[in-house]
Amino acid sequence: MRLRNMTAIVMTGILLALCGGAAWAAGQQGQVITPETREWAKKVLLDEQRLGASAATNTLMVLYYRNNSGNAALDPLQKGLTLMLITDLSQVKELQIVERIKLQALLDELGMGASGVVAPETAPRAGKLLGARWVVGGDLAALPAERLEVTSRLIDVPTTRIVGQPTGTGVLEEFLRMEKEIVFDIVKLLRISLTPEMEATMGKPFSTSVKAVTALSVAVDASDHGDYIRAADLYEEALREDPAIPIAAAALQELRDLGLLDGWRRVHGLPPLKAKKSEEPSSSADSTTKSSDILSTVSNATSLIRMQAMPIIFSSIGPLDPKGVSSPIPSPLMKSIISSSPVTGSMIFPSPNVSASPR
């Protein structure tokens, strides 16, 4: 038992060192909206009138982005961009980032869970309810020549003043680079100085695969709506595309820990998980399996270093549809991303012009 505990401690240390403490922490926040979180959201709304104007001066909340491009295939990026920004900004020690599940639980209570976005005029209210001093949100818009523009708004909650509008532009393959530009502009607007080491750490790509980011985004949304079977499939898809992508592995483990994957195991012809009442001596086969798991974990963590050292290249993605993001018809690239997942035929993030069906 002692050896097993020591092994777990050592492996945790290795993963923290290899993966980066902030990205690890962002993944450990949890992506499942528990009954306790929903009760918390209800209480927040009931107590809204008694909330004071004061908020922690270093607390920042990241809202979901609105897709105004007219291209429904970009809808997954609404939550995807939020996940990426939360992961990156969590690395800034001067900031305290509001947990995403609290935002989602609050949106559900406000009847905005289906759209998954917060309008600029309601952003200060959301920030006040969640105790944030700063709120970041924005829009995705289409530009000519198959280009995409991401416009953010950094809002000071007490005054409702827009402090700045960090913006990134580029083709879809440059989306990960655009997100980094927005992150550093937000930090600059908040007048936070980063060390060269921190700049280098934050400059590392969130992922090397747009497909992985898309699968992760749709997985989190499926989890938000209680479809844990679909979420598990999509987390695994994200990990197949990029084994080092943040959040996915921890979110999948969270589903296991909460006992939400028995249905998933039945769908895949696997027996349900059974909780062990007591620790029993491991057989040699068990030891071999555990050793294999440890080596696999180290291998995946090592892959992260190799991927972070690589430039963000998406040459394997291929050219976009000639109509680009300005067209409401999904491009072949985004079609392949969505059709490769188990969510085909379902609009996970309805655009503002489409009425969401009742949950």
Q: Identify whether 281 is part of a domain.
A: no
Q: Identify whether 254 is part of a domain.
A: yes
Q: Identify whether 118 is part of a domain.
A: yes
For residue 51, the model assigns a pLDDT of: 59
User: What pTM was computed for the model?
Assistant: 0.67
For residue 29, the model assigns a pLDDT of: 67
Q: Identify whether 285 is part of a domain.
A: no
Q: Identify whether 352 is part of a domain.
A: no
**In a 3-state reduction of DSSP, which class is residue 255?**
helix
CA distances from 248 to 94, 253, 266, 309 (A): 26, 9, 21, 20
The stretches in the chain having pLDDT less than 50 are 1-28, 275-359
For residue 168, the model assigns a pLDDT of: 95
For residue 180, the model assigns a pLDDT of: 96
User: Which residues constitute the domain of residue 179?
Assistant: 29-46+54-267+297-339
Could you tell me which residues come within 8 angstroms of residue 1 by beta carbon, excluding any fewer than 6 positions away?
279
Q: Identify whether 224 is part of a domain.
A: yes
CATH number where 89 lies: 3.40.50.10070
For residue 307, the model assigns a pLDDT of: 38
Domain count, the chain: 1
For residue 36, the model assigns a pLDDT of: 87
**In a 3-state reduction of DSSP, which class is residue 297?**
helix
For residue 57, the model assigns a pLDDT of: 82
